[in-house]
Chain A
């Protein structure tokens, strides 16, 4: 039996570890969605970033090159999304779903062609190729965990206190008002989408080279969608969204601890426990948290009538 303090510490650490990609991804999604661009493609961005960060880290033996590659990959996806949604005014959900499918397929095809390991990348060695814990080896506190914690107040500050944030909020509510104020709607939204790519890239890199030691197929396993749910949960506000990410992280950490637990003499199926966070998402989103008010212009391409 571990002592209670250690248990609390380890659970908290596990929560944070699991929540880190969610937080980074949710902050990214928040920028995109506050600008009026729905981002269903968070999952695909993370997956693409996970693949490239693991692949490049393996090839260059440098975690930092891996992170850089992850960011570039996610930004490429973000640009594609921007091109489809902003420049060509396509359907944002369709574009996001397409990017997810694209990422899922391409990562495996490229992985196979590159490393011949059934879509996986070579296992990363600890020294230099992975982002290792900084202070507490058992807690897994890599630098990206701290970055995720910092990302929340920074996101809040940018949105609430800066010119860019004001315009971002405005363009998500009423792009026509932004246009008539002499501000470019497209450029504003592109910047939001690129910020989203940056953060999703960090999230994907974290999953591949900090949380794990390499890429496996579809390794993001729906975390992009959970992050998206956290954004909606948090009513498109940074701190509440952060709270939602922590809650999902905690549920996940508990789920891991609960494996093999017996209730009334019956073993609780692992699948049920693993499904808990998702079940809860459905229940909570189905009205438990009250009506979430989305940015008014979300999902609508901006078109002048001529």
Chain B
């Protein structure tokens, strides 16, 4: 094997956090190498070091056998390394062409450089199937197209080594497939590709070799054809993980929440929700699938009483909410609607609060937590300790700042708070965003448990796998509308993917319950 890049004994700490510990790896030239690990395992930090965004505390980087210093991205680019970041580094108000030439303008005046860039861009588009209009403004492109612009940017700089950080996080399955075809083309033309992801399926589908990271260490390397998702999951987490969620068939009961023709129009007149109707029954999990930004956030806001609908009605446990009779989150909570918000850092908790305070947020006026004026702190602490035990929140320190917990433990704490109220309706946004596999398994099992106990559960997630494994019924959202409904079991990723992309598909079954 010829190595395009070798990292030797790289070490990096941020303050007291030891993010990368003594990591060595070799990336094969002209192949697709995967780096897999849970959130916070150190994959992105490692690649940022390689790209010159961070400086390693110790260790050597070699490109084509030569030791190099990566002081800044400028050095990395000079060595033929290009990076496609998870959050696109594109300027929304610029055209594709302007974004591509930024930093490689080919002279102090733009005219000549951009003309050359235009023809080079055409060649690259043709060679690699990266079609995109060079004069389009980036803000008006779809996420998939924006990603293509990012790849073009890297290729335009003559990169021979392409690093992609969680490239599929924002893509539909179809767009992901297209991305993988592009990567295969790149590989066929001798480009070295590094794919960073936490999705097992993508590693299996796209890579030749895979490195596994756990808690800052490189724990294993495998040739992809010789490994399995189960083995990789076990290596990532450090123990056996069940990837398949076992659940009994649902026993839907009475309708707990009914939305009829909900519409939401913002101040600028943009339709955020358009004629959304749905029913949520006791004892079932309804999943809302869709690419991020298609109205899911707003739907949760309306259902949880944060925003009143502009049109339509929402009936929850006998109370009817519409534009003239808005509800509020506290009232919804009293009605038995619990809400685990999508953005737990900002909406689910107060970062500076102690865990015990986060554990009662919103329920702090219940007699068990508060006396006339003062909080009953010992009771709050004891309550939190109980929740932590029951939901396996680590470390079990009720006095610790909420922000000091890892993403998974924060989520478990918020979920514990809401579930402990034994709600009639449970709304959950992105239950496992930024949560490691071990905790995902736990959270999924808890959601199913609460369904079996008769709770009506609504799960909104951009992770299609999650929706497929959790939901009994799946609704697909696109552009503020529900464009399709699929019953679990009859659900297949292709069809849902098409609906997520806005292609109208006939509703497949499942409508009989509605």
In contact, B98 and A166 (Cβ under 8 angstroms): yes
A17 contacts chain B at the CB level, 8 A cutoff: no
Query: From residue 50 to 101 of chain B, which have CB atoms closer than 8 A to chain A?
Result: 51, 53-54, 72-78, 83, 85, 89-94, 98, 101
- Residue of A with least CB distance to B72: A182
A60 contacts chain B at the CB level, 8 A cutoff: no
In contact, B77 and A182 (Cβ under 8 angstroms): yes
Contacts of B90 in A (CB 8 A): 174, 177
Interface string of B123-157 (1 = CB under 8 A from A): 00000000000000000000000000000000000
A167 contacts chain B at the CB level, 8 A cutoff: yes
Alpha-carbon gap, A181 to B51, bound state (A): 11
B93: shortest Cβ distance to chain A, in Å? Answer: 6
Contacts of B78 in A (CB 8 A): 182
- Residue of A with least CB distance to B48: A306
A262 contacts chain B at the CB level, 8 A cutoff: no
A152: shortest Cβ distance to chain B, in Å? Answer: 19
Alpha-carbon gap, A178 to B85, bound state (A): 13
Alpha-carbon gap, A166 to B109, bound state (A): 10
User: With A177-B102, A304-B53 as given contacts, are A182 and B110 in contact (CB-CB < 8 Å)?
Assistant: no
Partner of B74, one of A164, A173, A177, A182: A182
Interface string of B9-36 (1 = CB under 8 A from A): 0000010000000000000000000000
Alpha-carbon gap, A166 to B106, bound state (A): 12
A276 contacts chain B at the CB level, 8 A cutoff: no
In contact, B103 and A178 (Cβ under 8 angstroms): yes
Alpha-carbon gap, A164 to B102, bound state (A): 10
Alpha-carbon gap, A306 to B105, bound state (A): 29
Partner of B102, one of A161, A167, A306: A167
User: With A181-B89, A181-B103 as given contacts, are A169 and B94 in contact (CB-CB < 8 Å)?
Assistant: yes
Alpha-carbon gap, A162 to B110, bound state (A): 5
In contact, B53 and A163 (Cβ under 8 angstroms): no
Alpha-carbon gap, A306 to B72, bound state (A): 14
A6: shortest Cβ distance to chain B, in Å? Answer: 44
A125 contacts chain B at the CB level, 8 A cutoff: no
In contact, A177 and B89 (Cβ under 8 angstroms): yes
User: With A162-B108, A167-B102, A182-B77 as given contacts, are A174 and B113 in contact (CB-CB < 8 Å)?
Assistant: no
A300: shortest Cβ distance to chain B, in Å? Answer: 15
Contacts of B103 in A (CB 8 A): 167, 178, 181-183
Contacts of B85 in A (CB 8 A): 180
User: With A161-B111, A162-B110, A163-B108 as given contacts, are A178 and B102 in contact (CB-CB < 8 Å)?
Assistant: yes
Q: How many residues belonging to A are interface residues under a CB distance threshold of 8 Å?
A: 23
User: Which label, helix, strand, loop or mixed, suits the secondary structure of the A interface?
Assistant: helix
Alpha-carbon gap, A178 to B90, bound state (A): 9
B324 contacts chain A at the CB level, 8 A cutoff: no
Contacts of A219 in B (CB 8 A): none
In contact, A163 and B113 (Cβ under 8 angstroms): yes
Of residues B85, B98, B103, which shows the largest number of chain A Cβ atoms within 10 Å of its Cβ? B103
Alpha-carbon gap, A174 to B139, bound state (A): 13
- Residue of B with least CB distance to A157: B109
B172: shortest Cβ distance to chain A, in Å? Answer: 25
A76: shortest Cβ distance to chain B, in Å? Answer: 28
B107 contacts chain A at the CB level, 8 A cutoff: yes
User: With A161-B111, A176-B89 as given contacts, are A166 and B53 in contact (CB-CB < 8 Å)?
Assistant: no
Contacts of B108 in A (CB 8 A): 162-164
Query: From residue 286 to 306 of chain A, which have CB atoms closer than 8 A to chain B?
Result: 296, 304, 306
In contact, A173 and B93 (Cβ under 8 angstroms): yes
- Residue of B with least CB distance to A182: B74
A24 contacts chain B at the CB level, 8 A cutoff: no
A165: shortest Cβ distance to chain B, in Å? Answer: 8
Contacts of B77 in A (CB 8 A): 181-182
In contact, B83 and A180 (Cβ under 8 angstroms): yes
In contact, B14 and A166 (Cβ under 8 angstroms): no
In contact, A161 and B53 (Cβ under 8 angstroms): no
Query: From residue 125 to 179 of chain A, which have CB atoms closer than 8 A to chain B?
Result: 161-167, 169-170, 173-174, 176-179
Alpha-carbon gap, A145 to B53, bound state (A): 46
A160: shortest Cβ distance to chain B, in Å? Answer: 8
Contacts of A174 in B (CB 8 A): 89-92
Contacts of B72 in A (CB 8 A): 179, 182, 184
- Residue of A with least CB distance to B83: A180
In contact, A180 and B94 (Cβ under 8 angstroms): no
User: With A170-B94, A177-B102, A178-B103 as given contacts, are A163 and B109 in contact (CB-CB < 8 Å)?
Assistant: yes
Contacts of B51 in A (CB 8 A): 180
Alpha-carbon gap, A306 to B52, bound state (A): 13
Q: 8 A-B contacts, Cβ less than 8 Å apart?
A: A161-B109, A162-B108, A163-B110, A179-B73, A180-B73, A180-B83, A182-B72, A182-B78
Task: Report the 8 A-B pairs with minimum CB-CB distance, sorted nearest first.
Answer: A181-B103, A182-B74, A177-B89, A163-B105, A182-B73, A173-B91, A182-B77, A180-B89
Given contacts A174-B91, A177-B102, A183-B103, 8 further A-B pairs with CB under 8 A are A161-B110, A166-B110, A176-B89, A181-B77, A182-B77, A182-B78, A184-B72, A304-B53
